[in-house]
Amino acid sequence: MHQGIAGRLLEISNKVQAACYQAQRSKEEIKLVAVSKLQSVDVINEAYALGINNFGENYAQELAEKSLACPKDIIWHFIGPIQSNKVSLIAKYANWVHSIDREKVARKLNDALETEGKKIHALVQVNIDREESKSGILAEEAVDFTNELIVHYPNLILEGLMFMPKITASKKAKMDTMNKIMDLQQLLSSKIPSCSHLSLGTSSDFEESILSGSTILRIGESLLGKRS
């Protein structure tokens, strides 16, 4: 079972390639983000040495610590829920943020970025399954919300949408969700052509997500190993 990061990366790359072939898409359109939450700096350095340079973190403090300890040319993606008292850490250490899910957070992040004198690539998180417990804005609000952010918060470079679909048992429900996501992303990019990214797909569903138009895969355990 223990084939190491190199072996797992090869396996994932082969699956990505096969899914791209099936979807008639170019592999170059797809960015792989290694989700390194709760993984050690050694694990990140090992993956980096294999050529991975996009990493995803869920906790602001952990992001800050790892960013300081790891190679400087790593591109950091903040993918976790954003607490408004942590926006300054995110503004300082992240290059991308996938989880913009309310106006207040966007405003605070924009202000913190102003202080830092930088901009960040941003995705709007959508709650596609309409789960009460889940963060994210509703699908029918996604286009207007994105527009509002573009108008009011110039330090956020809006790039598209992020989804964390429910891991459902039924294949049919999953297909329905994937189709909804694809339609919404197409609607958004038809209205705002610069919003061409779709962050979708984890260890358990990245191949389907490529068929649904994902451009950013967030893969944790199946690449870096079990989280401690």
Ligand X SMILES: *Cc1c(COP(=O)(O)O)cnc(C)c1O
Residues 214 and 206: their CA atoms lie apart, in Å, by: 8
Query: Minimum distance between the CB of residue 199 and ligand X, rounded to whole angstroms?
Result: 8
The conformation of residue 99, written as its DSSP 8-state character, comes to E
Q: Which amino acid is at 54?
A: N
Interaction of residue 129 with ligand X, rule CB under 6 A: no
Q: Give how many residues touch ligand X by CB under 6 A.
A: 14
Q: Which of 77/190 has CB closer to ligand X?
A: 77
Interaction of residue 114 with ligand X, rule CB under 6 A: no
Query: Minimum distance between the CB of residue 152 and ligand X, rounded to whole angstroms?
Result: 25
By the 8 A CB rule, do 126 and 115 touch?
no
Residues 148 and 162: their CA atoms lie apart, in Å, by: 17
Query: Minimum distance between the CB of residue 145 and ligand X, rounded to whole angstroms?
Result: 19
Token look-up 């451009």 returns 215
Interaction of residue 137 with ligand X, rule CB under 6 A: no
Kindly identify the residues of this chain, within the stretch 152-211, that bind ligand X according to CB under 6 A: 164, 202-204
Looking at 24-32, 40-48, 148-156, 220-228, which segment touches ligand X (CB under 6 A)? 220-228
The conformation of residue 35, written as its DSSP 8-state character, comes to E
Residues 206 and 14: their CA atoms lie apart, in Å, by: 12
- What token pair was written down for 178? 């994937």
Rg (CA), the chain: 17
Give the one residue of 16, 35, 87, 94 binding ligand X; rule: CB under 6 A: 35
Q: Which of 24/133 has CB closer to ligand X?
A: 133
Query: Minimum distance between the CB of residue 98 and ligand X, rounded to whole angstroms?
Result: 7
Q: Mask of contacts with ligand X, 54-93, x by CB under 6 A?
A: ----x--------------------xx-------------
Output b/e per residue, 51-76; b: 16+ Cβ within 10 A.
ebebbbbbbbebbbebbeebeeebeb
Q: Alpha helices of 33-102 — where are they, by DSSP H?
A: 41-49, 60-69, 87-93
Considering only CA atoms, which of 205, 197, 202 is closest in space to residue 217? 202
Query: Minimum distance between the CB of residue 225 and ligand X, rounded to whole angstroms?
Result: 10
Q: Which of 75/150 has CB closer to ligand X?
A: 75
Query: Minimum distance between the CB of residue 124 and ligand X, rounded to whole angstroms?
Result: 14
Query: Minimum distance between the CB of residue 220 and ligand X, rounded to whole angstroms?
Result: 2
Interaction of residue 136 with ligand X, rule CB under 6 A: no
- The binding site for ligand X (CB under 6 A) comprises 35, 37, 58, 79-80, 164, 202-204, 218-222
